[in-house]
Amino acid sequence: MSHIATVKVKLKDQALLAEVCGELNIPCDLGQPEVRLYSGVVKSAASLQLKGWTYPVAVLHDGTVQYDNFEGQWGATRELHALLRRYSERVALRHAQRLGASVQREERADGTILLRLRA
C-alpha cells in the first residue's frame, strides 16, 4: 500500500539545520537573536544567507521562517525550496532509520523527492 504525504516544514532541529546548510554551502548563523529584513527586525533563532538573496532568511524559535524576497526580485525562492527539501528529506530519513525501515530515494525532474520506505 502506498501513501503520499505533503510535508509542511518547520526548522526546529538547529544541529540538523547547520548540517544541511553546510552541505548546501549556505552561511548559517545559529543563535542569531535578531535578523534585519526589509520589513524590519525580527527575533530569531538563526539567520541564513541564501545565494543571491538581498536579505537573510530568519528562522524563528518555533521553526518557521520569515524572509523578504520581493516576489523573487531579491532572491530566488528555488534557493529556499532546495534547503527545505533537503532538511525535510533528512528528517524523514532519520525517522525511517528509527523505525528500522529501508529507504529508496528518487529525485524527479521537477525537483521533488520521492522517498519509498519499506519495513
| Cell numbers found for residue 50 | 541564501
Which pLDDT score, from 0 to 100, does residue 4 have? 55
Domain ranges of the chain: 14-118
Length of the chain: 119
Which pLDDT score, from 0 to 100, does residue 3 have? 52
> DSSP string of 23-35?
HTT--EEET--EE
pLDDT averaged over 10-residue windows placed end to end, the chain, 119 residues: 63 96 96 92 96 96 93 92 92 90 88 82
Q: Are 68 and 61 in contact (CB under 8 A)?
A: no
Q: What pTM, to 2 d.p., does this model score?
A: 0.85
Which pLDDT score, from 0 to 100, does residue 1 have? 44
